[in-house]
A = this chain, B = another copy of it.
């Protein structure tokens, strides 16, 4: 039996292992756990807090700071993308290709395909600068 299994299930960490290797990140125990949750399992949109409770639910303890460090490392490596939704917390999206988001009344995120948005003529950009990203957020409220 593999030492990393949780109650009853023995998650297959090989995929997560390859992902991390390929991204140039050391496959440490906490990172394997997190990568497994992010890429082989659950939701696409997570906050540090959500990820922390998901890990906890699998029976493993990962320090708060480690979750932030790992998430930032994943983002730097391009495995996840930081998404700005509000000032309350930082969201990470495992879907890294350009697209947009809808925030429902419960605070959950939903993807909006990139091609739903089209841009006309933008005001002139400052000299020597180019577009780094275009992100749209549609906020919903109860009717």
Q: Which residues of A contact B (CB under 8 A)?
A: 84-87, 89-90, 102, 104-105, 110-113, 115-123, 125-126, 128-143
| B117 and A104 form a contact (CB under 8 A) | no
CB pair B132–A141 under 8 Å, yes or no, is yes
Docked Cα-Cα span, A94 to B116, in Å, equals 29
Q: B131 contacts A139, CB within 8 Å?
A: yes
Count of this chain's copies in the oligomeric assembly? 2
Majority secondary structure of chain A interface residues (helix, strand, loop or mixed): strand
**A111 contacts which chain B residues (CB < 8 A)?**
123
Closest 3 CB pairs of A and B: A132-B141, A129-B140, A136-B136
Q: Are A132 and B125 interface neighbours, CB within 8 A?
A: no
Q: How far apart are A136's CB and chain B's nearest CB, in angstroms?
A: 4
The reply to whether A116 and B119 form a contact with Cβ atoms under 8 Å apart is yes
Give Cα distance in the complex from A115 to B118, angstroms.
Answer: 10
Report if A131-B120 is in contact (Cβ < 8 Å); known contacts: A84-B86, A90-B87, A104-B126: no
